[in-house]
Structure 1
């Protein structure tokens, strides 16, 4: 058997590496060795470990979408706690995942001040966001960990997945943001940011949200 160290492994931006027969102890050791300050994202699904390295384009979309969600929450006066790309995992289920962004909304109050998350005690995030292709490894992990709402952004399109009876179903509306046309408007403003720039786009989006509030 040939044993390689993580420092020997290089994942080019936009690519992923899938490792099989990885034990939970090995997964924990890899998390420890890689540390928190890294660009790579991991997903673990019952012995399968996926490592992916996002492109700069991915990172820009991730940040903009997260900013848009924060504006929605602020303008609608919905409290939240943000946990970014925190590792959400449960050893008893053998699943773990690191979203591009994550929000506690319905369960925000009990997460105030939390520095570490234990999903055997704490709830999963109410909303998780993934940019680019979401693999089966990641989907299995989100579903098993019972994340209520998952947004998947790919090729300038947004898909909302709502957990029902333990399975994800695609939805045209967000359970968090009611009847707002999230599937339509988020991609529009993400694309707008590519030509108009981040700050003007966020200001325009805030104005759009306020208009929707007045109309309702």
Structure 2
């Protein structure tokens, strides 16, 4: 007996973890669920996570994303926000959908592109994750080469991880 994807319900604020998921299965799940879904899907070396955010999660995402935008605009730094775009690389066996993400240093490289291909394009410079209902795993961000990851949880403050792209960007003048 096989379980079909449309039989699975992930209520808001919950996560579903699946192990031993092949890259092709991951691609099929992304395709079947489509782009207009509320759930976030992350993949790292056979482990698939499906998370459906709560409203408080979205509030934190917007608040921190707006803070980053205001900071970059005030510093007159070009950026491109791609929200929860799916970034994936089969060779790295990793795929991630951040709560919000920004191209800052590499903004000019990807400006105007309709599709980002991590086999030739750089990953986002900054990713933001709101950890209210689940805990962000760093492996997929590191594998994909994301320079900086900020995490915010209901009991934590913003945590800066990986190399600091904002420090590099903001020190140019």
TM-score by length of 2: 0.91
CA distance in 1, matches of 2:99, 2:165: 19
Give the gaps of 5 or more residues in structure 1. Answer: 164-173, 181-216
2: CA distance, partners of 1:105 / 1:175: 8
- In our comparison, the structure showing a higher alpha carbon Rg is 1
Q: Unmatched 5+ residue regions in structure 2?
A: none
Kindly provide the CA deviation profile for residues 89-127 of structure 1, in whole angstroms up to 9, marking residues without a partner as x: 001111000000010000100111111111010001000
Deviation at 1:135, TM superposition (A): 3.4
What does residue range 78-157 of structure 1 map to in structure 2 within 5 Å? 78-132=77-131, 133-136=134-137, 139-155=138-154, 156-157=156-157
2:6 is matched with 7
Q: Give the superposition deviation at 1:162.
A: 2.0
CA contact (8 A) 1:73 1:80 kept: yes
The alignment partner of 2:120 has SS state of: coil
Q: Deviations over 1:42-88 (max 9, x none)?
A: 11011110001111100111111111111111111010111110111
Runs of 4 or more, structure 1, over 2 Å off, are 133-136
Instruction: Judge conservation of contact 1:44–1:94 (CA < 8 Å) in 2.
Output: yes
TM-score by length of 1: 0.73
| CA offsets 1:153-204 (integer angstroms, 9 cap, x no match) | 01251111023xxxxxxxxxx54157x9xxxxxxxxxxxxxxxxxxxxxxxx
What residue number does 2:166 align with?
A: 176
The offset of 1:4, in angstroms, is 1.3
